[in-house]
Structures are given as C-alpha cells and as structure tokens.
Structure 1
Amino acid sequence: MPTFFFLILLLLPNLPQPEPDINQSPKFNVIAFYTAENDLAHISFVNEANEWFPKMAEKHNFSYESTNDWSNLNADFLSQYDVVLFLDTRPEDSAQREAFQTFMENGGSWMGFHFSAFALTPSAYPQDWDWYHNTFLGSGEYKSNTWRPTSAVLKIEDNNHPATKELSETFESAPNEWYRWENDLRENQDINILLFIDPSSFPLGTGPKPSEIWHNGYYPVVWTNVNYNMIYVNMGHNDMDYEHKYDSNQTKTLSYTFDNETQNELILNSLLWLGSVSSQETSVK
C-alpha cells in the first residue's frame, strides 16, 4: 500500500466526527403516566424506567416525558403525543378513561407494563372498566401471581412481529412477579400473543404459598391487540428486600428490570414499532 494512503488510514479515527443535529425533530413523542405510590417494587420500576427511557430517546431520536398528574390524560394534552405509556397504574377518572379510549381509537399508540393491567374485584383496583380490561387488553381480571419475583425463560410465540423478530427463540428474563389472567388469550382472535413462559421455567416462583409456585400451564406475558396500536408487557416488578423494609426510601432493590439486555431489546423494539405506526393525524378533539 502506498505510504500516502497508509497515513490517511492511520489518521481517520482521529478526524473530527460530525456532531448530532440537536435541532432535528424527534421521530415521535412519548408521554409516560405513573402513580408510584404503593408497592415498593412498582415504585422502584417507575424510577428505573424514568432513567432508562430518556437515554433511549436521546439515542434513537424520540422525545420522552413522564408525569404523575393523571388529569393530563385529556384530549388537548394527548394531542401533543404519539405514544402513551402506563408505567404502573391505570386512570380511575371516567373522563380520563374516555380520553384514552378516544386516543387509541383514533390511531394513538400505547405500551403498558405489569400492574397497568391489574384489576380485581373487590380491591382498590376493581374491574370497572370493561373496554380496557376485556376489549382492549382482552385479559379480564387478574387471577393469581407467582412469588417471589424470579426470572423465567420466555419463548417467542410470534417471531414475525417487529417487537420480537430479531430476538432469540427463548431467553431468560429479569426477575419479575408473573400474572395469571381470567381470560384465555389464545381464544381471542383479536389478541396476538408474542411471548409466553417456556415450560422449562417450571417450577416458577418460590412461595411460601403453594399457589405462588407454578408447575405447569400456559402464561402469555407480552401481547398485542390487532385492532389497536398497543402492546402489553407483563414485566415491571423488581425484587425488593421486603424482609428488611423500614423506610420506603431505603429499602434495597434486589433486581432491576432494565438490567437484562435481551428484554431491553424487546421493550425498545416495541416502542420504536409503536412510534412508527402511530397516526400523525391522531385527533382526540
């Protein structure tokens, strides 16, 4: 190789690199709603999510904001955003629920985590929103869960979906509390199950209650509804040092949802897909 070209190759890594265009418009806008007041594991997850998503937003050119003011769930506010996240809970006010349903029925996108699908009658979160739990999510009420939060081997049901197509057929998740639902999602033609718990995970959970340890069964953990731009992800419950709990600000987090690279890829793929399909003509006025 001529000396001149060899020297150019040596100097290339030191040449100034173009600065990212800070004035470039974001590809899509995300707003995350959360409550973060009850379960310490959910609070831990919300705090973690509100650190991780802004990093992804900067890297992948979308905007991310979060709020614990659920009164913002209205037509005017939502008109600024393409994707809504529910990080832990759901809206309880009827006007907020109506605004969210209208947003989704007019091309908006949504991703929900873990407790955002919870409903149990009687409880502080009863099943009193039929559209959301039966039509939109399709899951109906919560029925049971595993305990303690543990990892599971997850298996892809649909590897053609943008959220899963680049993932390995099975992978081990971050520790989580896994939910079982009232409805069999396999029987709902509107539901596309993307991931379920692989049988190699059983027994799943450590108890102490026998019902908190699953030995068999089919458990969907990520799915979409083909009638909406949406995806539900059952992950979102960190393991906490409950045995030594004495202060909500000092209770130790023992596991982190976003410490798992493959699971992160799933979540990021899901969000980028939702951002790409969200209608730019969404109208909730």
Structure 2
Amino acid sequence: MKPFRKLGNLLLSLCLLVACSATNAQVNKPKFHVIAFYTAKNDQAHISFVHEANKWFPLMAKKYHFAYDSTSNWSNMNAEFLSHYQVVLFLDTRPDDPAQRIAFQKYMENGGGWIGFHFSAFALTPSDFPANWDWYHNTFLGSGQYVSNTWRPTSAILRVEDKHHPVTKGLPTLWKSQPNEWYRWEKDLRLNPDITILLAIDSTSFPLGTGPKQNEIWYSGYYPVVWSNKNYKMVYMNMGHNDIDYEHHTNKDLSHTFDNALEDKLIINSLMWVGEGKKTAK
C-alpha cells in the first residue's frame, strides 16, 4: 500500500502547487492597463512633469496593482493598440492627426477611461495648438478655448465641489495644492449639464499668481480645476505644470506635482475610478 500512498501524496502536492500558482497568478494579475501618451517638447515645465509622471506612475502601479506603459509615439493612437488598455492618459499634449482623433473618440464612446493633465486641454486659435477639434474641446471637455493663465506657478487653496464623487473620496473640503500655472477657459462649465465640477479654486487663494504682468494675477472669479463629463469615464485636472527656474537660466525644477499627499490621492482616486468604475457617477 505504501507506493499508492506515496503516489497519492505526490498527486495531492501537485494539486496544491497548481492551486497556489493559479491563486498567485490571479492576485498578481493587473486590475487594469494604463497607457500614457506624451510629447515632452518645448516647455520645460511640461517636460519636467512628464518625466516625473513616468517615474511616479510605475511606483503606484506596483502599489495599487495596475499595469503602466507610456509612449511618445502618437501613431499608437489606433483601435488595435488602444484595445489592450482600459485607461489612456494625456500627460501634456493631444493628438493632432485626424485618424488618431477618431480612434480616441471611438475609444471613449466605447467605455474607455481617460485622465488628461494641464496642457492636454489647451487650445487657442491662432497658436501651435488651434481650437480645431470640436468634439474634444467643446463636447468632451466642455471648456472650449484657453483664455488666460496665472503666473508664476503658485499653490492654490482648492475646494471640493462634489463630495460624493469617487474622485474626491477622502479629500478635505479645502486643501493646498502644489504650485501650478492655472488656466481660465472660454466656457462656463457650471452651465453645462454634462459636466460635474469636482474641484475649484477657493476664494481664499486670491490674489493668485505674482505676475509681473497684472493680468497674470487673479483677484476674483470662479475657476474649475478638476472636472468630469457624465457621458464618459474621464477626469481632466489642470495640474501638470512644475515651477522652473527660468529667470536664472538653470531650468531646474523648483516644485514637483507628485509631492503632495492629497494631490497624489486625488490622482489615484481618479485613476482607480476611470480604470474600474462605472461609466458615469451622477
């Protein structure tokens, strides 16, 4: 009987090994896959943010169990490539090729997730980034063209506008951001029923910016900085412009976006929601 007992023990061990391997594979399987597109040219503040993001997100991927890839090849913005990812990030710019734009729109309309940072929403006619993508800037983002910005990059007191949205979970009503160049937009997002404003600049931030030009300092007004469109799994956040030492021509980083526990939580909340959450959070 001993040979049969040994064989039984061996089979039991093999079954346990297979079961453990399957369990480990399930545990280690990423919850979702993220692809970040970037350009990282011309503006050192945006380049700095992209480099920082491509170091920070892989660390968060290990911690929160998602997979992260990045590419500066915008020709990858096609249906076959995007089919391997549940979340797309625009770290600085946007696609300009018509075919790439169509592929991105279809990806979003089919339930894909997206987070855009800072310059990814920029559009101004005339400029190198003209307002020539109506669906993206007017329907998807809802903001229209860029109008103006603060200068220098300055921290702001941000106010949570929707406390029940998954993106703002665990954030205090008021908190201080990292330094950033803040944008003002053509359209009033409060008037758009498809837009959920998640965070805005609190009035205690004013005056915001230091100039030297007076129009670069904001003294009043309503400025949304993070919002979502109810028809898509998307979040836009105006953060993504590090402070840089331009004055002394060193181009050294004077601030980092991913150096603030609450701002990091906002980004992770956003990523987990668009990666795993439902299409809308009304």
TM-score, normalization by structure 2: 0.89
- 1:228-253 Cα deviation digits (max 9, x unpaired): 0000000000000001226xxxx210
CA contact (8 A) 1:83 1:278 kept: no
Instruction: Quote the Cα distance in structure 1 between the aligned partners of 2:218 and 2:157.
Output: 13
CA contact (8 A) 1:26 1:63 kept: yes
Is residue 168 from structure 1 mapped to residue 167 from structure 2 by the alignment? no
| One of 176, 179, 183 as aligned partner of 2:183 | 179
Identity %: 68
Q: Which residue of 2 aligns with 1:10?
A: none
Instruction: Quote the Cα distance in structure 2 between the aligned partners of 1:110 and 1:33.
Output: 11
The structure that is helix-richer by fraction is 2
- 1:225-284 Cα deviation digits (max 9, x unpaired): 0000000000000000001226xxxx21000000111000000000001111378xxxxx
Is residue 61 from structure 1 mapped to residue 65 from structure 2 by the alignment? yes
Is residue 113 from structure 1 mapped to residue 114 from structure 2 by the alignment? no
Question: CA shift at 1:165, angstroms?
Answer: 2.2
Q: Which residue of 2 aligns with 1:270?
A: 270
| One of 50, 65, 78 as aligned partner of 1:74 | 78
| Greater radius of gyration (CA) | 2
- 1:171-212 Cα deviation digits (max 9, x unpaired): 000000000000000000000000000000000000000000
Amino acid in structure 1 at the alignment position of 2:103: A
Q: Where in structure 2 are the equivalents of 1:222-261 lying within 5 Å?
A: 222-245=226-249, 251-261=251-261
Q: Where in structure 2 are the equivalents of 1:1-285 lying within 5 Å?
A: 21=24, 24-245=28-249, 251-277=251-277
CA contact (8 A) 2:169 2:269 kept: no
Amino acid in structure 1 at the alignment position of 2:233: N
Instruction: Quote the Cα distance in structure 1 between the aligned partners of 2:213 and 2:110.
Output: 44
Alignment partner of 2:39: what SS?
Answer: coil
Question: CA shift at 1:22, angstroms?
Answer: 6.8
Query: Aligned Cα RMSD in Å?
Result: 1.6
4+ residue stretches of structure 1 with deviation over 3 A? Answer: 20-23
CA contact (8 A) 1:82 1:278 kept: no
- 1:18-71 Cα deviation digits (max 9, x unpaired): xx9477210000000000011000000000000000000000100000000000
Instruction: Quote the Cα distance in structure 2 between the aligned partners of 1:155 and 1:22.
Output: 41
Q: Which residue of 2 aligns with 1:17?
A: none
Alignment partner of 1:48: what SS?
Answer: helix
Gaps of 5+ in 2: 1-22
Q: Which residue of 2 aligns with 1:7?
A: none
Instruction: Quote the Cα distance in structure 2 between the aligned partners of 1:38 and 1:102.
Output: 30
TM-score, normalization by structure 1: 0.88
- 1:122-158 Cα deviation digits (max 9, x unpaired): 0000000000000000000000000000000000000
Instruction: Quote the Cα distance in structure 2 between the aligned partners of 1:37 and 1:165.
Output: 34
Amino acid in structure 2 at the alignment position of 1:181: W
